[in-house]
Amino acid sequence: MFEKKTIEELEKMTPAELQVYKDAEAVNAKEEMNKAIADAVSKSKPELSPELKAEMAKEIQNQLLDQVVKTQTESYEAQLKSFLKENEDKIKSIHNAGAGAVELTFKAVADISTANGVNTLPPNITGTQQAGLSNVNLRDFDVTMLTTNVNTSLAAFPYTEALPKDGDYTFVAEGAIKPQVDFTWETNYAKPVKAAAWIKLTEESVKDVAGLESVARDLLVKKHNIKKAKVFFTVMVFLQTQKEQLLTVVFSLLVL
């Protein structure tokens, strides 16, 4: 007969004696399990025939042997009683029909691995907490270095330019009167303009997202510089076109 040992007695055993004890414990546990299954089936359904009781107990034993573990969430006897209670009508119908099957799956504690963890849908804010926020990558083209920049305290910047007025070249005979050409000039005032934009950040976003305010300021500066550069670039292209047209006229006059 198997005799359960205390912790002190187990600590005094040699490895060989401990292995013999574990094997005897496993055999005893199997015998107790088989007896418990037979008793549970007999007590829960006394009206079943001995053949059906034996067949059901055997099937339960096979399932238990496949799923047995050292620890369990609920005793097999309790699971069996609950199963028999829930499937009472089905078992009766199988007994009356003389054929059929019921399936019982025992729950047991399993080893814990990385697959046990479940990652639900995380909030969007966790992305910036795991990977820091970086500045917006905008491709800049700096044309301001090709321009002349001066400071002024005037509300409007004056400039004077010469403009053609009347008269033009024409083909004349020798000794004939040449056509007269004149021009005028005018002073204009360049009115200042302001490129503006803004970004709205909530207090929570600034506190929760590291570096958010810095990224916002960097984006505003980059977009401002690009907007100013585009204006300079457009003016420079226009002036270059006018210059090429003027050079073409002068070259034609020199050829003539």
pLDDT tens digits for 203-221? 999 999 989 999 999 999 9
Is the same domain home to 74 and 140? Answer: no
Last residue of a domain, one of 97, 118, 143: 97
CB atoms within 10 A of CB 128: 15
Distance CA 228, CA 147 (A): 12
Q: What is the DSSP string of 50-114?
A: HHHHHHHHHHHHHHHHHH--SS-SS-HHHHHHHHHHHTHHHHHHHHHHT---------------G
Instruction: Look at residue 2 and tell me if it is in a domain.
Output: no
| 240 has a pLDDT exceeding 60 | no
Q: Quote the domain boundaries for residue 67.
A: 7-97
Is the same domain home to 151 and 51? Answer: no
Instruction: Look at residue 179 and tell me if it is in a domain.
Output: no
Instruction: Look at residue 201 and tell me if it is in a domain.
Output: yes
Give the model's pLDDT for residue 244: 52
- Type of residue found at 229: A
- In 123-249, the DSSP E strands lie at 157-164, 183-190
Q: Which has more confidence, 171 or 27?
A: 171
Distance CA 154, CA 183 (A): 29
Instruction: Look at residue 84 and tell me if it is in a domain.
Output: yes
Helix axes of 15-44 and 50-67: crossing angle, nearest 10 degrees: 140
Closest by CA position to 72, among listed 106, 100, 42: 106
Distance CA 178, CA 176 (A): 6
pTM of the model: 0.41
Reported as a single tens digit per residue, the pLDDT across 242-256 is 555 544 444 444 443
Is the same domain home to 148 and 224? Answer: yes
Instruction: Look at residue 113 and tell me if it is in a domain.
Output: no
Cβ neighbors of 192 (< 8 A, separation 6 or more) are: 155, 156, 157
Indicate the number of domains in the chain: 2
Is the same domain home to 193 and 241? Answer: yes
Residue count (the chain): 256
Instruction: Look at residue 49 and tell me if it is in a domain.
Output: yes
Give the model's pLDDT for residue 172: 92
**pLDDT band at residue 112, thresholds of 50, 70 and 90?**
confident
Q: What percentage of the chain has pLDDT greater than the value 70?
A: 71
| 48 has a pLDDT exceeding 60 | yes
Cβ neighbors of 80 (< 8 A, separation 6 or more) are: 37, 40, 41, 44, 60, 104
Q: Tokens standing for 246?
A: 């003027």
Q: Give CA 126 to chain center in angstroms.
A: 9
Instruction: Look at residue 151 and tell me if it is in a domain.
Output: yes
Contact yes or no for 61/98 (Cβ under 8 A): no
Distance CA 238, CA 118 (A): 63
DSSP 46: T
Q: What is the Cα gyration radius of the chain?
A: 48
Last residue of a domain, one of 97, 115, 144: 97
Contact yes or no for 164/183 (Cβ under 8 A): yes
